[in-house]
Structure 1
Amino acid sequence: MYDLLVVGAGPYGLSIASHAAAAGLRLRVMGRPMASWRDHMPRGMFLKSEPWASNLSDPGRRRRLDVYCAEQGVGARHGEPIPVEMFASYGLWFARHAVPEVDERTVTRVRARPGGFEAVTEDGEVLHARTVALAVGVMPFVEVPGALRDLGPSLVSHSSHHGDLDRFRGKDVTVVGGGQAALETAALLAEQGTRVRVLARAGQLNWNNVPPAWERPWWESVRTPHSGLGCGWRNWCYAERPGLFHRLPETTRARIAATALGPAGAWWVRDRVESAVEVLLGHEIAAAYGTGGGVRLEAVTRSGGLTSLETEHVIAATGFRASRDRLGLLAEELRGGLAAEADGSPRVGRDFESSHPGLFMAGLVTASGFGPAMRFVHGATFTAGTLVRGVRRRLHTGPVSGRIPAPGNGRGRGALDTVRR
């Protein structure tokens, strides 16, 4: 029986595991490390967040991104985006040095059982744990516009379904969306010779500004402080005070979670889009039909007019919707019993614990509870420390309470299990 089973090995799962190991919990970590970053982002993409805001979290803060980059002879400087491949490699380095060995098998089902939980792996092994932390990232929550859902994967895909874009060389592709994923995907497609256009329902594209220098006059820093989510006091509060965000009224949290930090392109991709990509603004897809050579899209313009176009493939860069109902690995009776926020995401308490005792949540699925920071790697630091404290409290006070080993380096005999990769 494990004290904590961490399901997911991305930035949040690995950060939680690092804090749990240091706290001496008997721990098991499941999932392919950094899977979304390694398998679902095309070569050539960059992190939108600043390097200093993209650290995974270990209690001693020794395994930062800049430390890894320095070991590789690469700079991690403010205002210079980091390649996704470098960030994925950093995550693997973090996993080797800051957490127990990760079991790369997928957990297919989690059920509540007396005394805790039962988890079933892809090959049928059954694991038991007193508490579970779900850090499943974004892939369960892929959102595709309704008009596109009935078309098969040969005609429609989501931007997160591509580890590379080579299959689209020489083809005609329409990217739907107006945020960073849409714009950077379109730029990469254009640069490899794909005929590409962006179709967005917004009337204009938004672009993030070049960040101000790290070293600047004190009065500028006071007026618009740097934060992990960008400059300004509002962003600073979202990034650095998610615990205070959690205390806001539910309606206020829901509104902010739905509207803050809306779709926008990074400053460094703007020239690549504007010089090479056709952009159709104010178009919302009303219908889509398969044709002999691809897809015919019918769209409604902002003035109410109708327009149509034909393309060989549609990439929906339309984000994610982190609802409770999409947590398919939870058994139906467990999933259906979870209290939910207004947007359908699981409601979590101050320690990221769901309404089912011992079941903790992390990452995008907690954005309605703790704010926009949970949509970014930056939120992993607050989450990891807070969630592990909650796990310790649950183990002390719950019906399956037991003594927690004294904090240590997480690698002492008996402190945790080393499991097979």
Structure 2
Amino acid sequence: MYDLLVVGAGPYGLSLASHAAAAGLDVRVLGRPMATWLGHMPRGTLLDSPPWATNLSDPEGRWRLDVFRAFRGAALPDTGPLPLEVFTEYGLWFARNAVPPPDERTVTEVSPCRGGFEARTEDGETLATRTVALAVGLPPFAELPPALRGLPSALVSHSSDHAGLGRFRDRDVTVLGAGQSALETAALLAEQGSRVRLLARADRLRWNTAPLPGPRPWWHTAVAPHSALGRGWRNGFHAGRPDLFRRLPARTRARLAAGTGGPAGAWWLRERVERTVETLLGRELLSAREVPGGLRLETAGRQGGRQVLETGHLIAATGFRALRARLGLVSPGLRALLATGAGGAPEVGLDFESSYPGLFLAGPVTAADFGPAMRSVHGASFTADTLVRGVRRRLREGPAGWQAGAGRRGEMPDGARP
């Protein structure tokens, strides 16, 4: 029986495994390394976080992004944009060097058993473990507006469905949304020759400010400190103190998590969008229905008036909602025992343990409890260190600790390689 199974091998899962192995735990990580980044983001994507804030985490800091770039003989700029291809190559390098060899099989179900959990893999094998950490990333939580649900995937898709956009070359495409994903998807489509428009409720597009070049005077830093999440004291708090964020009242956490980092584009993307993409702003999508050749969309403006447009395909860059119900790989009985907070996300404690003893959560699913940093790679370092301490605490309590915790929260069922 393992001490810890990490389900998911993206930045959070790999960082967790690195910290757990260094702590002497018998850990196994399951999943294809960097699968979300390789299979759910279009080639040509650029990361909107600065390179210095895009490190995976190992306890000694040996396997940072700048070390990888030096190893490859390529310089690394202080500010973005960082190509997706570089970051995924870095993640695979980290997986080869900083963690026990990942088991690339997919986990289909996690269920409780006496003394811990069982994880069933895609080929039917069952692995037993005392604790589990789910680091499943964003794809399970993709959100589609009600008007688009039930339409065929040939006509409607989510932005996270695409590892490439080549199938839309020379086609008519509408992108729904006003955030980074929507704006970059639209720009990539336009640059490959698609006929693309951006449809959004927002009256105007918002753009993040470019980092200031060179050293900044102390008074600039005092007024607007720079952080992994951008400039300003609020962003600095979210990036630097997720531990304090977790101690805020639940309603305050929910408000801040929902209201921080709203739809906006990276500074380096603005010219690409404004030069090539048609924008239909201040329009609410009312309905969508299939017609010969594509979709007919009905929209309404803020000041009234309806507009109908037809398109060959709609890509919804409409974000993600970390709902408990979408943790599909958790068995129904176990999923029902997980306490939820505001918005339906599973709650986690101060060390990322869910309300069910021994089941830990990591990554964007924890943003409602630990803040917006959990939606970025930057949050992996705090998560890995804190969560592994929580796992060690849980393991020290032993079987009696599991039984006691279950009684309170829900009954326990019977040299670098190349």
Shorter-chain TM-score bucket reads: over 0.9
The aligned amino acid for 1:39 is G
The aligned amino acid for 2:383 is T
Per the alignment, residue 63 of structure 1 pairs with 63
For each residue in 1:303-355, what CA deviation from the matched residue of structure 2 results, as whole angstroms up to 9, or x when unmatched?
A: 12211100000000011001111000000010011000111111100000000
Q: Map residues 269-284 of structure 1 onto 2, 5 A cutoff.
A: 269-284=269-284
State the Cα distance separating 1:219 from its structure 2 match: 2.0
CA contact (8 A) 2:4 2:26 kept: yes
Per the alignment, residue 206 of structure 1 pairs with 206
Per the alignment, residue 151 of structure 2 pairs with 151
The CA distance in 2 between the partners of 1:183 and 1:109, in whole Å, is 35
For each residue in 1:2-35, what CA deviation from the matched residue of structure 2 results, as whole angstroms up to 9, or x when unmatched?
A: 0000000000000000000000100110001001
CA contact (8 A) 1:130 1:400 kept: no
The CA distance in 1 between the partners of 2:226 and 2:400, in whole Å, is 43
State the Cα distance separating 1:284 from its structure 2 match: 1.2
Per the alignment, residue 416 of structure 2 pairs with none
Task: Tell me how many residue pairs correspond in the alignment.
Answer: 402
The aligned amino acid for 1:352 is F
The aligned amino acid for 2:296 is R
The aligned amino acid for 2:360 is F
Per the alignment, residue 305 of structure 1 pairs with 305
CA contact (8 A) 2:49 2:80 kept: no
For each residue in 1:340-394, what CA deviation from the matched residue of structure 2 results, as whole angstroms up to 9, or x when unmatched?
A: 0111111100000000000000001000000000010000000000000000000
CA contact (8 A) 2:120 2:127 kept: yes
Secondary structure in 2 matching 1:102: coil
State the Cα distance separating 1:130 from its structure 2 match: 0.2
TM-score, normalised via structure 2 length: 0.95
State the Cα distance separating 1:264 from its structure 2 match: 0.3
Per the alignment, residue 316 of structure 1 pairs with 316
Per the alignment, residue 182 of structure 1 pairs with 182
CA contact (8 A) 1:78 1:214 kept: no
Greater alpha carbon shift after TM alignment, 209-218 vs 94-103: 209-218
TM-score, normalised via structure 1 length: 0.94
Secondary structure in 1 matching 2:342: coil
Per the alignment, residue 46 of structure 2 pairs with 46
The CA distance in 2 between the partners of 1:74 and 1:341, in whole Å, is 45
Per the alignment, residue 83 of structure 1 pairs with 83
CA contact (8 A) 1:116 1:400 kept: no
The CA distance in 1 between the partners of 2:18 and 2:215, in whole Å, is 32
For each residue in 1:202-222, what CA deviation from the matched residue of structure 2 results, as whole angstroms up to 9, or x when unmatched?
A: 111100111123522222222
The CA distance in 2 between the partners of 1:73 and 1:201, in whole Å, is 45
The CA distance in 1 between the partners of 2:346 and 2:103, in whole Å, is 26
The CA distance in 2 between the partners of 1:196 and 1:190, in whole Å, is 6
1:160 counterpart = 2:170? no
Alignment RMSD: 1.1
1:373 counterpart = 2:373? yes
The CA distance in 1 between the partners of 2:252 and 2:198, in whole Å, is 32
The CA distance in 2 between the partners of 1:306 and 1:66, in whole Å, is 51
Q: Tell me which stretches of 4 or more aligned residues in structure 1 moved more than 3 Å.
A: none
Per the alignment, residue 127 of structure 2 pairs with 127
Secondary structure in 2 matching 1:101: coil
The aligned amino acid for 2:254 is A
The CA distance in 1 between the partners of 2:317 and 2:236, in whole Å, is 27
The CA distance in 2 between the partners of 1:124 and 1:147, in whole Å, is 37
The CA distance in 2 between the partners of 1:46 and 1:74, in whole Å, is 17
State the Cα distance separating 1:47 from its structure 2 match: 0.6
CA contact (8 A) 2:48 2:80 kept: no
The CA distance in 2 between the partners of 1:31 and 1:236, in whole Å, is 32
Instruction: Determine which structure has the larger helix proportion and give its number.
Output: 2
List runs of 5+ in structure 2 lacking aligned partners. 403-418
Secondary structure in 1 matching 2:226: coil
Per the alignment, residue 74 of structure 2 pairs with 74
For each residue in 1:132-189, what CA deviation from the matched residue of structure 2 results, as whole angstroms up to 9, or x when unmatched?
A: 0000000100111110112111000011111111000110000000000000000000
Per the alignment, residue 415 of structure 2 pairs with none
CA contact (8 A) 1:9 1:135 kept: yes
The CA distance in 1 between the partners of 2:329 and 2:25, in whole Å, is 24
List runs of 5+ in structure 1 lacking aligned partners. 403-421
For each residue in 1:21-79, what CA deviation from the matched residue of structure 2 results, as whole angstroms up to 9, or x when unmatched?
A: 00010011000100111111111110100000110000001111111112222222222
Per the alignment, residue 237 of structure 1 pairs with 237
